[in-house]
Amino acid sequence: MQVGIDQIGFYTPNKYVDMIDLAHARNEDPNKFLIGIGQQKMSVADQTQDAVSMGINATLRYLDHIERKNVGLLIVGTESGVDQSKSASLFIKTALNLPLNVRTFEVKEACFGMTAGIMIARDYVRLHPNHSAIVIGADIARYGINTGGEVTQGAGSISVLVKADPRIMTLSAGHSAYSADINDFWRPNDSAVALVDGKYSKDVYLDFFRHTFADYQKQTGLKASDFTALLYHLPFVKMGFKANQLAIEKRDDETKKRLADNFAASAYYSKQIGNIYTASLYLSFLSLLENAQLPANAKVGLFSYGSGAMAEFYSGQICEDYGKALNQTADQEMIARRQKLTISEYEQIFNQALKVPQDGLKLASDEKSGTWYFAGTENHVRQYRQK
Ligand code: COA
């Protein structure tokens, strides 16, 4: 029996900042952001979008195509949690009207959280082939206004359904994991924005890629040339580009070209959305599916990295009719219809979103109808509504 990704849904909020505007406002050369970092735009979440609402909105993209009663597991990976105790997944489960007997929880290990969920889901479905699992990554990357990390922010969610006999990608057995207790990026309990040692985080990311990719090749006998595409966690596009350069060095020209072209296709959405932490690797996956021409049975390698730090390399095989399970036009429309913010509008929205709204205050959303949003708290209980 093959187990893998059967459905994929994506959501990003309806506002963005253009990197050229940001560069001008911060007295930087725009090419530093466009070329040096590799980003063109970043999505901005206002006060009404959080990990819960974005996770609901991403899953709604495919919910009508699945058998809800078969969902036995719902996992949310996030580092933008809305509560220290209650999982984001319980709010999401209610909004999606999933069965009462679903096992559901939230996982955390920085940007690795969604991969942790997918690995658990893969093994769960192998043991329970009649059940499926929803795995969501949903995050808002916040480093702060006028910080070095500001250009690497973003907001969004990816949701996948893992089941037997999938339509998009089968997940191969095995993985290569690597972890170490380090301090490259973290967010203390008293901080709404991340703390980061940016240069160190870049070095560690590449070091963990070297370890996991080499170990995976040793374990499986596969070589870089056996992959149609290599996908990376993209905190910013240049980071994945550097890892891909390591993967293709000393390879034949055909391999170099294929992996470079497919990297560009996988980075296309991230360039416009920015960092979405846990879901970033899976935004690369979606971008590859919707922007590359993949041959039947394409072999795809995935590198997941979560600061702190935990990394894993694993792989999958693309299913023959994967295109039929995608929402390419709707995804592109969602990205295109976002409203461009001026830098002062962005700064105002950013600062407002850091504050907890006064209890009882009803928040309104300017999203399109059908979108779920955070509507404020009542008696300190978070309220989610559909517009
Ligand atoms: N034109 C083209 N490229 C330019 C440029 C210009 N005018 N000016 C600078 N650059 C290049 C630099 O050469 C550098 O490229 P390199 O990485 O290949 O050497 C790149 O732009 C970034 O410049 P740098 O001076 O390192 O930028 P910075 O000090 O502002 O920090 C980050 C960049 C990514 C470290 C910072 O945004 C950050 O901390 N982000 C969050 C951390 C993160 O995402 N870590 C990843 C691991 S999860």
Residue 36 Cα: closest atom of ligand 1: 21
Give the model's confidence band at 277: pLDDT under 50 very low, under 70 low, under 90 confident, else very high.
very high
Are 243 and 266 within one domain? yes
- State residue 296's pLDDT score: 86
Tell me if residue 79 is catalytic: yes
Are 191 and 316 within one domain? yes
- The helix/strand/coil state of 304 is strand
Are 332 and 311 within one domain? no
What percentage of the chain's residues is helix, strand, coil (to nearest 5)? 40, 25, 35
User: Token pair for residue 17?
Assistant: 């900042």
Q: What is the mean pLDDT of residues 165-192?
A: 96
Are 286 and 313 within one domain? yes
Give the model's confidence band at 240: pLDDT under 50 very low, under 70 low, under 90 confident, else very high.
very high
**Number of domains making up the chain:** 2
Give the model's confidence band at 332: pLDDT under 50 very low, under 70 low, under 90 confident, else very high.
very high
> Do 59 and 9 touch, CB atoms closer than 8 A?
yes
Are 213 and 302 within one domain? yes
Q: Which of 278, 304, 323 is the last residue of a domain?
A: 323
| Cis, bond preceding 309 (omega within 30 deg of 0) | yes
Are 77 and 178 within one domain? no
CA of 103 to the centre of ligand 1 (A): 41
Residue 20: give the domain boundaries.
3-169+326-386
Partnered with residue 263 across adjacent β-strands are none
Q: What is the mean pLDDT of residues 244-250?
A: 97
Q: Is the dihedral of CA 215, 77, 138, 109 positive or negative?
A: negative
Q: What is the mean pLDDT of residues 169-197?
A: 96
Return the closest-CA partner of residue 154 out of 240, 237, 32, 58: 237
Distance CA 51, CA 373 (A): 10
CA of 145 to the centre of ligand 1 (A): 16
* The pairing of beta strand 71-77 with beta strand 132-141: parallel
Are 276 and 226 within one domain? yes
Return the closest-CA partner of residue 231 out of 292, 281, 170: 281
Annotated active-site residue in 79, 109, 150, 367: 79
196 C-beta closer than 6 A to ligand 1: yes
Q: Which of 302, 323, 344 is the last residue of a domain?
A: 323
Distance CA 187, CA 236 (A): 19
pTM of the model: 0.98
What does pLDDT average to over the chain?
97
201 C-beta closer than 6 A to ligand 1: yes
> Do 75 and 134 touch, CB atoms closer than 8 A?
yes
360 C-beta closer than 6 A to ligand 1: no
Greatest Cα-to-Cα distance within the chain, rounded to the nearest angstrom: 63
Are 333 and 312 within one domain? no
Q: Which of 298, 323, 348 is the last residue of a domain?
A: 323
Annotated active-site residue in 233, 312, 319, 367: 233
Return the closest-CA partner of residue 223 out of 233, 231, 213: 213
Are 8 and 141 within one domain? yes
- CATH code, domain carrying 181: 3.40.47.10
**Percent with pLDDT over 70 in the chain:** 100
Give the model's confidence band at 27: pLDDT under 50 very low, under 70 low, under 90 confident, else very high.
very high
Q: What is the mean pLDDT of residues 239-265?
A: 97
Are 255 and 365 within one domain? no
Q: Give the model confidence (pLDDT) of 97-147 as tens digits.
A: 999 999 999 999 999 999 999 999 999 999 999 999 999 999 999 999 999
CA of 26 to the centre of ligand 1 (A): 14
Are 133 and 207 within one domain? no
Residue 242 has pLDDT above 90, yes or no: yes
Are 22 and 122 within one domain? yes
Q: What is the mean pLDDT of residues 155-177?
A: 97
